[in-house]
Structure 1
Amino acid sequence: MEAGLVALKQGNYYAAITKLEPIAKNQKQENACLQAKVGLVMAYARTGEVAKAVALCQNLMESSNAQVQEWSKRALKHLKNRHQRLKTANNNFDTGVEFQNPHLDHPQANYLVTDITRDENQPLSIFWRSARRAKVWQPLRKPNLMPDRLIALGTFLLVFWLLKEMLKFTMGAFGQILTKLPFPLPVQIFFTDPSIFVLVCLLGLIVLSPWILDRLLAEFYNQRELSAETLNGYSREATRVIQRICQQRRWPMPQLRIVPLSAPLIFTYGNLARTARITVSQGLLEQLEDDEIAAVYALSLGQMTRWDFMVMSLVMVLTVPLYLMYQEVAAWANQLKKPWYWPISTLSNVLYGLWWLLTSTALFNSRMRLYHSDRLAAETTGNPNGLIRALLKIAIGIAGDVVQQESTCWELESLNLLAPVGYQQSLSLGSLAGYMPFESFLMWENANPYRQWFTINNSHPLMGDRLERLCQIARHWHLDTELHLINQKPFQVKPQSFLLQIAPWLGMPLGILFAGGIWLTWQLAYAIHLLNLKWIYDNGSFVTGCLLIGFSIGTFIRINSFFPNIPNGNLPMAAQLPQLLADPAILPIDSISVRLSGRLLGRSGSDNSLAQDLILQSQQGLVKLHHISWLGQAIQPQEWIGRQVIVTGWLRRGATPWIDIQTLENQSGKTINSPHPIGSTVLAVAAQALGAYILLTG
């Protein structure tokens, strides 16, 4: 009780809910039960859970205590008035709940709780400077497009190589099975080179990609046509921008489409300018202003001038069906019971892994193309500040949608590669808006000297870098900037910290050097007839063994620093989350031990059996969670989706802030362990053993 009331006074409402809910259910101690319920009404009101607060007030009205009855009547009246105003105005904001006398010593006391929150628990303190646009501006210097074209070509070749190797492996495995059968079958075709077949198929898919994606998006995403008149109702400027750009470049008007998603989203697909489609979500049209909608349409039009336009559409043709199959198989698995659940769930995980693998081929291309698109959008509209606001509002809208849906909607994840803002980078950035200035959060993303190393597995560039480039364009045109981002010198970060961060990967080139030393030693020993083991290393496989050993040694070196012991004393709580993420000089290796309370969000069931969608909704924002499952674990985190939990682990600041979970505790005291240090140790031992085996056997 004391811990819950202290948390309530300190504003740590989710921790208060976690502590007070079990006490409120204890009917044996009436005073404590009443006091806990009053505290819960206040905490629920602060966190935007109005329905729970109303239900609890109705329960308190049945109390035999006259003062509690009177208090609950007034509280219920305030809550219902707020709900009615919210419903009538059809906006997204909750006004405060007013009580009197903020003392928590007796349940009969009256209380004063004032707060202003949105449905998704966001404050109203987001301030937009609404910096002006250019009325007359000079064209920007034309960029060199050759590197971008080479990246697009490299992406296509990578997709081709990956598909060819996957097909070759599948054909070879199937051929080997056929050779083991007791009756002869023609199996030679399964051992032929499928390169020509794969190349022809990919070229055919590029040609047909607009119509294939039309069918998929209409069938599974409810995509429909968006008339120019409807778009004009939301943004007159967007209609004019599309017409002007198409006339200047002698393009036909792109086909406009819309999908009924509440999350803000816009993307372009096709293979040529005359087959281009621009799809927007209903949420984007409703959440952005006129000039901001025009800016993101200009961004989408800017992507049509690049080679990667057709390459990205090809990747989507390959990945969207895989993701849809993963969804269907996962839904099937959720309906099954043991023993059939596990094999079907495993199949859904395999499909998700294939989707992730194919998506990864286009990550670099996806990051680089957005810089060019941002530039063209700013130059076309003369409104870099409008594009800055649009990108930030998209991030805020995505974070709000995740809170509202209590998970990342599958449409966002499957179409993320084409989106202007990544859904993962939106979680903390969008949800912390209002709790800290954008400039403070983005300082790491444009001032940390090693920041680009942590975008390798990201589909989108760092928002800080993107917005700083747009601010440079605004300053070039002598405009005030929407954000005060300064292209300053990188902060000083200890080089040894970065070397320790990349120790596993640094061990691999050192492993190659070690392999070279072994090769020279054996060559010398063989030449002087000292040792005749040269035949072991004739095929060069020992290099692979040395690579694995180097990776293992680097992993062992990093484990203690990456996963330091978490003290049992005071740890940073949710209220300090903005400050923890604002330090521009830290790296993921600088582990911050935290203990945060909040609600667990994410998909449930087989859709999340790899823990790919675990998010903590803390008091002041969303944080991505990383979990490692282990054999024999009775409870999985996805079983607690929507519940209040306490997360203990290591907070890390990278391109996407995240927490490596140590323990996950629910309200009833049950705990899920996530053995990250053990997992790293097992990985290092396995790499060491396999490397030694290859090294010794050749």
Structure 2
Amino acid sequence: MASIPNPSLDAGQQALNQGDYSVAIAHFEGVCELELDESLVTRAAMGLVTAYQGMGDGKRAIAICQRLTQHPDSQVREWATSNLTDLTGVNSVPPSPSTSNSTGFVPLDGTSSNPSAPDSTGFVPLEQTSSKPKTPSRGTASNIKQRLTSSTNRLFSGQPQGNRPNATQNERTGNVPTKGKTDTQKQGLAAQAKDSQSTTENTSRLPAPYSPPPTPHPSIYTPRPRWRNSGRAQNWSPFKKLKFIRLWLVEIVSAIASFWLLHFVVQFAMLTINKILVQLPFLNPIQLFYRDPRPVLLVVLAILLILSPWLIDRLLKRFHRLDALPLTQLAAQSPEAAKMMQRFCRQRRIPVPKLGILPTEAPVALTYGNVPRTARIVVSEGLLSQLADDEIAAIYAGQLAHIVHWDFVLMSLGVLVIQIPYIIYWQVAQWGEQLPNLIERKLSSYRGFLTPILLGIIGAIASLSYGIYWLLRLPMLWFSRARVYYSDRLAVEITGNPNGLTRALLKIALGITEDIQILGKTSSLLESFDLLLPVGYQQSIPFSSCSPQTPFEAVLKWDCTNQYRDWLIINASHPLLGERLALLSRYAQFWKLDTELDLPAIAPPIRSNSARLSKLLNIYKALPLLQSALLFGLIVGMVLRGLLWLIGQIGDSLNIWQIIWMHNANNNSFLTACVLIGFSLGIFVWINSYFPDIKPSTVRTEPNLGDMFGNPTTVPPDSQPVQLTGKLLGRQGLLNWLAQDLILQTSAGLVKLHFWSYLGPLGNVLPQPPRPSHLVNQQVTVTGWFRRSVTPWIDIETLRTQASTISQANYPIWITILAFIAAAWGAYLIWQV
């Protein structure tokens, strides 16, 4: 019988009174599956007995009555015993422990001693190994029997549907048990029996009787690292109450910075347009563009905030085929998640969020809205298929945490705003790809000169839009990182399952890398909605190198122990995954659980001022070249400006007129000139060590990526010349003119590639055949400098195909040109003083 979307006890009772037993059964079964109130579940079970009696299916009615005879309520037991007597014709009592199986399930015939005899419900006891499938009786659909069996187990075993023995969980995750099925099931049942007493004692603390699944046994997941499948807390004490002042401060700062940057971009665009219009004949500047755009921006942002749930819904439906996900469908995939959501929302007195699903194999989860009543939680088919029941529940718990913490409001608005330039970039680039065919059909005589001109204009517009998208997301990065720690903590408190959340995050990272390899590029969903994902798509790339020989701990060690990681994470959308998982391990240890990973302790922040000063003075050894040079320029520029001001003061007091100008010079221009000169000096000092010569004696050919990712002390300036061969992944054509999506797929995993022309990102837009995007999906040999940071990458020197096509990058030349420009600009400003 097909399930119904909104099962109701009242509707089932009404159908029962009207004699429509099939509809009544559907409603009662749905209530047993999803309802958290045990009194309502008991009433539904009693209704099932009556409905099955009415349909003439006495065996099922007997089975449920036998369960109800074990109910803690004496009135329910009396009712069940009375009806059981009527159904069987004898005074029946619950079977003794010596004759019942370890699951608590009572066979319908009650006396059968032949284990091979078919069970009319289709139920196979867990300790019995059946050699042939059971066939349903009386032509009833087998899915009814399965749901009935699971609902009766739900009533009286205290075990949710999804928490089946380890063999079933391994089927969901693709694991192969290390022991036979029967042994594993027996051990799981023994663990469940062992914990039954403590679970019963804890029932009064929970809104519904709930027993977490037994600890699964280690399994092999080849070629990935082995999962320990460590257990979860049975009775857990809450953590110390968190203070949200830091999260609120980060949110306020991010909101102000985002508005200021948006105002700057809009005002700059308006003034630039007017300057262009002034230079063109027959055109006048737009007077409205000379006004302050802040009032209009505030109104537009307010409207976007009010409409954000529906606008994001529309975007996801238009570009990513969003569909609704009924709670009953979620319960079929993850019963624990459905029950947890109802229980938690009832406790917090908030409505259950609207659920959605995306038809993509990339495991993603998004939460957006403006108030809890309009909140949405959207997951992908890949997440539901690749994660186990308890892991799905942990992810949903983390999404609920964003709602109760109210951090999803600002993040929803920020993500919606950056969708505007991103959609322009994506759509314009796709239209541009269709342009040559259109010109060939309509204007074939002009295709020789018209096609490259129009493609250049469209490519520039798409690249500019992508640059604006990248710029506008910067102020949201700090807030995006900060809120994840709070959601992880609450997700663990809700589920009592830090190890389940650990496995979920790792499987999401692995699933994202698989999706990139299958598609051959980074999907627009992963990039444009990156700030809403549980795990960032770029930080997932290193996990493609994990295997039984390269465990997760080897790749994550850098995240926990590198002393400069807090500086290098500034451009990351998510906190370091190693830090998150190390905190989850601490939560597990707090509850005396075995941990899923053996991660080193997180390196504590520096407390002493002398250590902080030492770290600041040595920061050039850790940051990428441009950031180091900029920081060096700021420090040297301020020191140099102060020194020159002091010299000018001395000249003024000694009446040395030749140097008095150093004191009287315009402070802003002079300081800017000093910073520019300091910036250029920093580049000239460090460029040779940052880009060492690539020689046959120094280059590492086909190194193991897992070993390179696993070194916890390396930082970007530790240049390692490498040569790797593999398939070039990424977007093609106008979508990748900036070379922002280049990934090398090797036999040992994936690694991000950075490509810069001799004019930097601007030069990437200029004609430079062959572009890196022309070589996508080809086998290439990459030569360059490997660098380890939050996301490891290779600065490309050359890309060479098997056909000897070479795409040459010129990052060192671009940096040198930039240093000369900065020095010349600084000298010009000093000359103007």
* Cα RMSD after superposing both structures: 2.6
In structure 1, the partner of 2:681 is 553
Query: In the alignment, is residue 232 of structure 1 matched against residue 331 of structure 2?
Result: yes
Q: Which amino acid aligns with 1:509?
A: I
- Determine the C-alpha separation between the residues in 2 that align with 1:613 and 1:178: 35
Query: In the alignment, is residue 508 of structure 1 matched against residue 634 of structure 2?
Result: yes
In structure 1, the partner of 2:724 is 596
In structure 1, the partner of 2:10 is none
CA contact (8 A) 1:545 1:695 kept: yes
Query: In the alignment, is residue 615 of structure 1 matched against residue 743 of structure 2?
Result: yes
Query: In the alignment, is residue 475 of structure 1 matched against residue 589 of structure 2?
Result: yes
* Cα displacement string for residues 146-169 of structure 1 (whole angstroms, at most 9, x for unaligned residues): 111111111111121112122222
Post-superposition offset of 1:671: 2.0
- Determine the C-alpha separation between the residues in 2 that align with 1:478 and 1:92: 28
- Determine the C-alpha separation between the residues in 2 that align with 1:90 and 1:641: 34
* Cα displacement string for residues 553-574 of structure 1 (whole angstroms, at most 9, x for unaligned residues): 1122221111111121474344
CA contact (8 A) 1:367 1:459 kept: yes
Post-superposition offset of 1:189: 4.0
* Cα displacement string for residues 306-331 of structure 1 (whole angstroms, at most 9, x for unaligned residues): 34321111111111132111111111
| Range with bigger deviation, 345-354 or 557-566 | 557-566
SS in 2 for 1:339: helix
Q: How does 1:105-504 map to 2 (within 5 A)?
A: 123-176=222-275, 189-335=288-434, 336=436, 337-487=451-601, 498-502=619-623, 503-504=628-629
* Cα displacement string for residues 561-590 of structure 1 (whole angstroms, at most 9, x for unaligned residues): 111111214743445221122111111111
CA contact (8 A) 1:396 1:431 kept: no
Post-superposition offset of 1:184: 10
Name which one, 1 or 2, has greater alpha-carbon Rg. 2
Post-superposition offset of 1:689: 1.4
- Determine the C-alpha separation between the residues in 2 that align with 1:554 and 1:501: 14
Which of 583, 605, 615 is matched with 2:733 structurally? 605
- Determine the C-alpha separation between the residues in 2 that align with 1:530 and 1:549: 25
- Determine the C-alpha separation between the residues in 2 that align with 1:675 and 1:332: 30
Q: Which amino acid aligns with 1:323?
A: Y
Post-superposition offset of 1:280: 0.4
In structure 1, the partner of 2:110 is none
Q: TM-score, normalised by structure 2?
A: 0.67
Post-superposition offset of 1:506: 2.5
In structure 2, the partner of 1:566 is 694
Post-superposition offset of 1:432: 2.8
- Determine the C-alpha separation between the residues in 2 that align with 1:304 and 1:417: 15
- Determine the C-alpha separation between the residues in 2 that align with 1:343 and 1:536: 47
CA contact (8 A) 2:542 2:555 kept: no
Q: Which amino acid aligns with 1:596?
A: L
CA contact (8 A) 1:575 1:619 kept: no
Which of 680, 691, 710 is matched with 1:582 structurally? 710
- Determine the C-alpha separation between the residues in 2 that align with 1:193 and 1:488: 47
- Determine the C-alpha separation between the residues in 1 that align with 2:281 and 2:801: 57
* Cα displacement string for residues 240-279 of structure 1 (whole angstroms, at most 9, x for unaligned residues): 1111111111001100011111100001001111111000
Post-superposition offset of 1:518: 2.1
* Cα displacement string for residues 405-433 of structure 1 (whole angstroms, at most 9, x for unaligned residues): 11111111111110000111111123434
- CA pair 338-302 structure 1, distance change in 2 beyond 3 A: same
- Determine the C-alpha separation between the residues in 2 that align with 1:497 and 1:159: 31
Aligned pairs, number: 583
CA contact (8 A) 1:179 1:187 kept: no
Which of 650, 661, 665 is matched with 1:537 structurally? 665
Q: Which amino acid aligns with 2:474?
A: S
CA contact (8 A) 1:123 1:435 kept: no
- CA pair 517-188 structure 1, distance change in 2 beyond 3 A: farther
| Range with bigger deviation, 652-661 or 579-588 | 579-588
SS in 2 for 1:661: strand
- CA pair 655-182 structure 1, distance change in 2 beyond 3 A: closer
In structure 2, the partner of 1:641 is 776
In structure 1, the partner of 2:645 is 519
CA contact (8 A) 2:356 2:376 kept: yes
Post-superposition offset of 1:123: 4.6
* Cα displacement string for residues 186-234 of structure 1 (whole angstroms, at most 9, x for unaligned residues): 9654333222222222222212211211222122221111000111111
Post-superposition offset of 1:129: 0.2
In structure 2, the partner of 1:657 is 792
- CA pair 672-123 structure 1, distance change in 2 beyond 3 A: farther
- CA pair 201-156 structure 1, distance change in 2 beyond 3 A: same
CA contact (8 A) 2:562 2:603 kept: no
Post-superposition offset of 1:637: 1.3
* Cα displacement string for residues 359-405 of structure 1 (whole angstroms, at most 9, x for unaligned residues): 11201111111111111101110000000000000000000111111
- Determine the C-alpha separation between the residues in 2 that align with 1:129 and 1:483: 8
- Determine the C-alpha separation between the residues in 1 that align with 2:674 and 2:638: 6
Post-superposition offset of 1:173: 3.3
SS in 1 for 2:268: helix
- Determine the C-alpha separation between the residues in 1 that align with 2:284 and 2:735: 40
Which of 744, 751, 757 is matched with 1:629 structurally? 757
- Determine the C-alpha separation between the residues in 2 that align with 1:420 and 1:188: 45
CA contact (8 A) 2:698 2:721 kept: no
Post-superposition offset of 1:519: 2.7
Post-superposition offset of 1:545: 1.6
- CA pair 189-348 structure 1, distance change in 2 beyond 3 A: closer
Q: Which amino acid aligns with 2:714?
A: I
- CA pair 123-553 structure 1, distance change in 2 beyond 3 A: farther
Q: TM-score, normalised by structure 1?
A: 0.79
Q: Which amino acid aligns with 1:354?
A: I
- Determine the C-alpha separation between the residues in 2 that align with 1:208 and 1:167: 21
- Determine the C-alpha separation between the residues in 2 that align with 1:90 and 1:369: 30
Post-superposition offset of 1:170: 2.8
* Cα displacement string for residues 497-522 of structure 1 (whole angstroms, at most 9, x for unaligned residues): 64334431233222112122223333
* Cα displacement string for residues 44-86 of structure 1 (whole angstroms, at most 9, x for unaligned residues): xxxxxxxxxxxxxxxxxxxxxxxxxxxxxxxxxxxxxxxxxxx
Identity of paired residues, percent?
43
- Determine the C-alpha separation between the residues in 1 that align with 2:372 and 2:796: 47
CA contact (8 A) 1:615 1:625 kept: yes
CA contact (8 A) 1:295 1:381 kept: yes
- CA pair 191-537 structure 1, distance change in 2 beyond 3 A: farther
Structure 2, gaps ≥5 residues long: 1-170, 176-220, 437-450
